[in-house]
């Protein structure tokens, strides 16, 4: 479901001042190309997960200036009348490419490419970055947590700790794409069809005169989906005994099996082992144990390594905020301008910090896969008009060029898919289940070494020889 909110004025102010300046200096229709890329994978991981394209599409399709927007800009007494008139008839006319949602992505490669009039391509910078950065951050964190759970369902429970409403709503979407089984955020089910999940809070138990009464009442209302929260008072002395009693008194006579019990505090490993033993002895071997309480991938990994008897996890604040590293760090940089004859002029941003040097030119991003295993070998950035890598192909490290490898028996896939052509959408947005499946498939196509928790293998993002030569020439240019 589309949001249809008008975020046109969600910009950095410099995007507006530059747009006015471009028009004043006659650059209004100057064709350019921008890249979005990121420099560092959160949490020292081996890969990130692309997300947020659907919300970027919604933004671009709703991009327009209301009269109130124009009057606000007029009140700043900074913008010429010609510019304000231009905004009245504004129409987005750029070409846009993006890597599809759910795809593993790596530092330095173009994940969104925008080509068109500089006023427009520059203006969308903030919202483009905000959308892709946020959802890719959450999707990356969620995928780490899901992989740590080793096949056990993970529920996203972070709405109340998210940074604002959109952080909760779109964060739940990103988490689902990355492998979570559902969310506690009801509106995310309404908007995106993500299964809304949940049981009870401690206040439900506290409201009744006894824990047993609270459990019976819940079992009577939701008999076919009865999961009881058993740590309000004492898990082993009251919570679990009262849950078993309620199961026997309310559900068993109806021929219904309980769904589970949930613990949200205490030593989860110790408690889950005790709970499992007691449930099994009482004839409830099919009753699941759900754990929550400030979990993340590291805690989940440790719990399972210690033999915790947990069937599923609810993960909140550390997922929805990516608490361990809450910034994705994607940037949006000019990589080419075009003269009046359409000739591309490469542009580069230099820095004493090598990581901040950009790669010039409009580019394609090819992922090279082994024919036999379909495992990803490396990504290669090429000039936009270059042919796809094929045959006997040499890849090399762009910084340490002596590191070279010739590969054969592979196929190449261009990851950048065209989303808009001259401002018109030409891409059919996939449904969320398809995106989720794509994420699973593409992550499976990465070597296990890339998915390692500690010191993952460095997946290579290389440059074609022609692109490398252009970059090297610009790096050695004496003046600009």
Each residue's pLDDT tens digit, 127-160: 999 999 999 999 999 999 999 999 999 999 999 9
Angle at 142 between CA 3 and CA 271, to 5 degrees: 125
Q: Identify the pLDDT of residue 173.
A: 98
pLDDT digits (tens, 9 = 90+) for 399-424: 899 999 999 999 999 999 999 999 99
Q: Identify the pLDDT of residue 28.
A: 84
Average of per-residue pLDDT across 371-398: 96
How many residues in the chain?
A: 480
Q: Identify the pLDDT of residue 165.
A: 96
Per-residue pLDDT band at 278 (split at 50, 70, 90): very high
- Say yes or no to pLDDT of 480 above 70: no
Q: Is residue 164 left, alpha or beta, with left meaning phi > 0 and alpha meaning psi from -120 to 50?
A: left
Per-residue pLDDT band at 211 (split at 50, 70, 90): very high
Per-residue pLDDT band at 354 (split at 50, 70, 90): confident
Helix (H, G, I), strand (E, B) or coil at 46: coil
Distance, CA of 141 to CA of 91 (rounded, Å): 36
Per-residue pLDDT band at 6 (split at 50, 70, 90): confident
Q: What is the percent of the chain with per-residue pLDDT over 90, rounded to a whole number?
A: 95
Q: Identify the pLDDT of residue 224.
A: 96
Mean pLDDT across the chain? 96
Distance, CA of 465 to CA of 450 (rounded, Å): 25
- Say yes or no to pLDDT of 72 above 90: yes
Distance, CA of 318 to CA of 295 (rounded, Å): 7
Q: Identify the pLDDT of residue 479.
A: 66
The answer to whether the CB of 290 falls within 8 A of the CB of 311 is yes
Q: What is the 3-state secondary structure (H, E, C) of 24-43?
A: HCCCCCCEEEEEEECCCCHH
Per-residue pLDDT band at 177 (split at 50, 70, 90): very high
Average of per-residue pLDDT across 222-234: 98
13-138+326-475 and 139-320 agree in CATH topology: no
For residue 191, give the nearest of 199, 183, 202 by alpha carbon: 183
| CATH code of the domain made up of 139-320 | 3.20.20.70
- Bridge partners, 34 (sequence order): 114, 334
- Say yes or no to pLDDT of 284 above 60: yes
- Say yes or no to pLDDT of 167 above 80: yes
Interacting residues of 162 by C-beta distance below 8 A, sequence separation 6+? 168, 171, 320, 321
Paired tokens of 426: 């030409």
- Say yes or no to pLDDT of 271 above 90: yes
Give the distance, in angstroms, between the CA of residue 154 and the centroid of all CA atoms in the same chain: 16
Per-residue pLDDT band at 2 (split at 50, 70, 90): low
Q: Identify the pLDDT of residue 4.
A: 61
Architecture per CATH, 13-138+326-475: Alpha-Beta Barrel (3.20)
Interacting residues of 133 by C-beta distance below 8 A, sequence separation 6+? 38, 52, 327, 328, 329, 330
Spell out the domain ranges in the chain.
13-138+326-475, 139-320
Distance, CA of 145 to CA of 179 (rounded, Å): 9
């Amino acid at each position: 479901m589309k949001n249809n909110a008008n975020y046109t004025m969600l910009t950095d102010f410099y995007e507006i001042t530059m747009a006015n300046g471009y028009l004043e200096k006659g650059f209004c229709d100057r064709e350019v190309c921008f890249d979005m890329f990121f420099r560092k994978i959160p949490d020292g991981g081996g890969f990130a997960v692309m997300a947020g394209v659907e919300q970027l599409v919604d933004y671009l399709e709703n991009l327009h200036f209301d009269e109130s927007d124009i009057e606000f800009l007029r009140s700043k007494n900074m913008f010429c009348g010609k510019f304000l008139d231009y905004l009245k008839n504004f129409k987005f006319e750029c070409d846009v490419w993006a890597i599809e949602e759910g795809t593993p992505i790596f530092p330095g490669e173009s994940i969104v490419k925008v080509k068109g009039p500089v006023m427009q391509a520059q203006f969308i910078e903030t919202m483009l970055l905000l959308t892709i950065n946020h959802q890719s951050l959450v999707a990356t964190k969620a995928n780490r947590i899901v992989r740590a759970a080793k096949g056990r369902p993970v529920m996203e429970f972070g709405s109340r700790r998210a940074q604002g409403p959109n952080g909760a709503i779109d964060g739940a979407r990103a988490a689902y794409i990355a492998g979570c089984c559902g969310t506690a955020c009801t509106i995310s089910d309404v908007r995106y069809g993500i299964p809304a999940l949940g049981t009870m809070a401690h206040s439900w138990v506290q409201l009744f005169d006894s824990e047993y009464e609270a459990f019976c009442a819940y079992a009577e209302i939701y008999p076919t989906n009865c999961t009881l929260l058993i740590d309000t008072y004492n898990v082993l002395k009251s919570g679990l005994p009262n849950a078993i009693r309620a199961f026997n008194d309310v559900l068993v006579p109806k021929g219904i099996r309980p769904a589970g019990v949930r613990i949200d505090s205490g030593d989860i490993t110790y408690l889950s082992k005790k709970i499992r033993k007691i449930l099994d002895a009482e004839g409830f071997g099919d009753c699941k144990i759900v754990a929550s309480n400030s979990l993340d991938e590291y805690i989940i990994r440790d719990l399972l390594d210690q033999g915790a008897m947990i069937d599923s996890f609810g993960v909140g604040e550390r997922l929805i905020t990516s608490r361990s590293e809450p910034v994705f760090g994607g940037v949006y940089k000019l990589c080419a301008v075009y003269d009046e004859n359409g000739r591309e002029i490469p542009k580069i941003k230099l820095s004493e910090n090598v990581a901040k040097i950009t790669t010039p030119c409009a580019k394609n991003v090819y992922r090279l896969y082994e024919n036999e295993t379909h495992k990803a070998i490396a990504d290669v950035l090429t000039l936009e008009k270059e042919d796809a890598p094929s045959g006997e192909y040499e890849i090399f490290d762009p910084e340490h060029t002596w590191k070279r490898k010739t590969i054969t028996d592979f196929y190449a896939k261009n990851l950048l898919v065209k989303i808009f052509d001259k401002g018109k959408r030409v891409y059919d947005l996939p449904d969320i289940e398809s995106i989720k499946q794509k994420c699973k498939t593409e992550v499976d196509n990465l070597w296990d070494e890339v998915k390692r928790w500690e010191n993952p293998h460095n997946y290579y993002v290389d440059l074609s020889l022609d692109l490398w030569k252009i970059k090297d020439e610009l790096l050695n240019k004496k003046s600009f």
